[in-house]
Amino acid sequence: LQLVEQELDNVQLTLLGRACGESSLSFRSAMRLVELVRGVGAQGITAEQLMALVQALPESDNNYTPMFKKGTKESVRPSEASRRFGASVVSALQRYADDQFAYYARCKRASILWDWINAVPVEQMEGTYTANPYQGKIGYGDIRKFADLTRFHLGAAHRITNILFVAGGPTEESIDQLLRRLELGLPVHALGLVDIPADLTRGDYLALLGAGIQTVDQLWRHSNEQLAQILGPLVGRLVSSKRPGSQSQ
């Protein structure tokens, strides 16, 4: 398994063995991740694709995913995931699935996370991924749960991947950005909005993006009245009170 190495009478963990032992993943999950990543190949693998592969680990499989298990409505999930991550990643998600619905659930979680970090409104996501309002209903709590669990294990998955492949895997910067995006539900070009000195919701950030605002500097180019129209009177007034040079400061 390339987890230990021997030099004369000295036996020690390899760097891969140490990374697996120190990770938040179980031994079974770490070994599965090694196999999945090797199967996909590190040539050009992105942070988002690694995020998708995490959905095939036992920790993710054990995280309840609402599914509609009557009929074939959930059978669209692999094609949805393939459009987002590529066929090789979706093929890897088939490995060690208990049944077809476990496979569909992996694809469903991966696609939900893709939409979450790419500014798709929660209401639209709920409509897309709820196959039946009485069974398999997806809500904000489910989305948040998937994102938080993936954040918890993504760093460990990246460390293992980096040791497997010296070059070709996701960069440290892309992983750091993805962890932040999973936390906030925002695309890369919106991360500059996090520096706004006010407590805003994901909906507020998306409203600013919809108005063409991606940085704090762009925000302050808008008048208080314009911000109130974009964010709503109460939130707009709060943000405006933080404007450089305002009386509240």
Question: What is d(CA 198, CA 190) in angstroms, rounded to the nearest whole number?
Answer: 15
Task: Enter the pTM of the model.
Answer: 0.88
Whether the CA torsion 125, 129, 142, 190 is positive or negative: it is negative
The per-residue pLDDT for range 59-79, each reduced to its tens digit, is: 999 989 999 998 889 999 999
pLDDT value for 119 = 93
pLDDT value for 158 = 87
C-beta atoms surrounding 22 within 10 Å: 13
Asked if 70 contacts 135 with a C-beta cutoff of 8 angstroms, the reply is: yes
| Least confident among 20-24, 29-33, 228-232 | 20-24
